[in-house]
Amino acid sequence: MIISTAPIQDYTALSDAECQQRLGDARDELGDRLVILGHHYQRDEVFAHADFSGDSLKLSKQAATSAAEFIIFCGVHFMAEVADILSRPDQVAILPDLSAGCSMADMANLSNVDRAWKELASVIDPDEEVTPVTYINSAADLKAFCGLHGGIVCTSTNARRVLEWGFKQRGKILFFPDQHLGRNTGFAMGLPLDEMVVWDYDLPMGGLTKEQIKKAKIILWKGFCSVHQLFQPEQIDNFLKQYPQTKIISHPECSFEVCQKSDYVGSTEYIIKTIADAAPNTRWLVGTELNLVKRLHKQFEHQGKSVHFMSPTLCMCSTMFRIDPQHLLWCMDNLIDGNIVNQIKVPKNDAKLARIALERMLEVSK
Ligand code: 13P
Ligand code: SF4
């Protein structure tokens, strides 16, 4: 019997309220055949349906250990790829909207990283002297590149431990795609700023001289997060003028200047834990995505904690926002009908090599 796939068009006009009821029913029907993973930046109407929430590291561990037949990832494309790579071959990873990408991840691709590696080879021997480190916010073939070249993956939670591991292997690190995470982590480890150079992938030799490359300890890819780059040190100064007792906490994808002005810097999971553990009646200015900051405010308001968004203008991760209750319900109803929609499947060879780099990361972060 051929069962036809319910089209997404049947779902887009449903109201959020209608979806909530139907999502609950679908969840019950799928039982433990399904696990829903939700990143902290997901909007509330989706986040409420996650069986597990977390930052990139926590969710990748969850994907690696889940027994469910289907893993629906409410997050962005690279996260669903990691779920596919780390899960068993018979498990299915699903991304409710295939257009939920990550603009930072798109700033590095295999062709420009390969070119950088070859160009570096005209000055140094990268396979002997450079550990490639990719932020988890990158495509699977870049994780495979790291697996192939003795490199590793990092997240915002374990970046320091991963860089320490990288320096034990070789004297230099090529860090992509987020220059800010690389710089903030390197500086926290004691590296001076002039030993961290930026590789501009639009320029020959990354726009660097041979001397700069030879002297560098970390070569930072010229990538950034379009959301976190909107936070500015002046926003912190202005807020502190009004509320001098405020604690500042930022994600390490923020600029060096913002992180230097922050009392705490860490992943989304770290931000949540720090505010949760803080004394009652404290005020927080947070440099990370809006959905999480709003949720934190609601969650801790009853303790007298006041949680504010760093930027005066609203900036959300528009790609995370593409995952809506309508797409989630569409995927789940199709699973009930025996259809798989929006499966994320990484090509076998890439998956094998990427897994090596991811497993190195999981080992380092134990
Ligand atoms: P976390 O791993 O800290 O959740 O960060 C993921 C991300 O994409 C932040 O922009
Ligand atoms: Fe990518 Fe930035 Fe969105 Fe994180 S917040 S998923 S880095 S675009």
Write the CATH number for 61.
Answer: 3.40.50.10800
- Evaluate whether residue 219 is within a structural domain: yes
C-alpha torsion 120→125→128→133, nearest 10: 0
**CA distance linking residue 337 with residue 6, whole number of Å:** 9
Ligand nearest to the CA of 77: 2
Q: Helix (H, G, I), strand (E, B), or coil: what is residue 197? A: strand
- Residues 296 and 335 both lie in one domain: no
For residue 5, give Cα distances in angstroms to 71, 325, 328.
19, 18, 15
- Evaluate whether residue 361 is within a structural domain: no
In the chain, which residue ranges form alpha helices assigned H by DSSP? 9-12, 16-30, 44-47, 56-65, 77-86, 110-120, 126-129, 140-148, 159-169, 179-188, 210-215, 233-242, 256-260, 268-277, 290-300, 325-336, 348-364
Q: List pLDDT tens digits, range 244-287.
A: 999 999 999 999 999 999 999 999 999 999 999 999 999 999 99
**CA distance linking residue 320 with residue 76, whole number of Å:** 6
C-alpha gyration radius of the chain: 21
Domain of 296? Answer: 228-309
Q: List pLDDT tens digits, range 98-140.
A: 999 999 999 999 999 999 999 999 999 999 999 999 999 999 9
What pLDDT shows up at residue 329?
98
pTM for the full predicted model: 0.96
Atom nearest to 41 CA in ligand 2:
5
Cβ < 6 Å from ligand 2: which residues?
Answer: 76, 102-104, 137, 225-227, 253, 289, 317, 319-320
Q: List pLDDT tens digits, range 205-248.
A: 999 999 999 999 999 999 999 999 999 999 999 999 999 999 99
**CA distance linking residue 117 with residue 127, whole number of Å:** 9
- Residues 294 and 194 both lie in one domain: no
What pLDDT shows up at residue 315?
81
- Residues 221 and 109 both lie in one domain: yes
Cβ < 6 Å from ligand 1: which residues?
Answer: 40, 55-56, 137, 155-156, 225, 251, 253, 267-268
Q: List pLDDT tens digits, range 295-327.
A: 999 999 999 999 999 999 888 999 999 999 999
- Evaluate whether residue 364 is within a structural domain: no
What pLDDT shows up at residue 5?
77
